[in-house]
Amino acid sequence: MLLITFADNSRLKEICFAALNNVHQIKILRIPAAVTNINDWAIANNNELTEIIFNGNNLKKIGYAGIKNNPKLSKVILPEGLTKIGGYGLGENPNLIAFVPSTVIE
């Protein structure tokens, strides 16, 4: 079981293509406030991931299949300011309850 978290002052701007794809030990993932993009397939195919926590409101885009096929993922509260969720951006997460902000237009 693994918790991935970043320092409060992290300058990480994006979670790159497939950066956390097939990392089966992740249980909880805390995304730093500076992140603006979760790219295609960035957080996908993780068998143990149950929760994603966003620190801050800078996230603007979740790419194609950005958060996909995480069978135990059950909770994601997407931050206000998010404007785009790509195709299958939250797809194939059978237990997911996602709170989508009103700022999402695409």
The pLDDT of residue 64 is: 98
The pLDDT of residue 59 is: 97
The pLDDT of residue 5 is: 84
CA distances from 31 to 34, 82, 88 (A): 9, 14, 20
| Mean pLDDT by groups of 10 residues along the chain of 106 residues | 83 96 94 96 97 94 98 95 97 94 94
Name 81's Cβ contacts closer than 8 Å, sequence gap at least 6.
57, 58, 59, 60, 101, 103
Tokens 């994601």 — which residue? 76
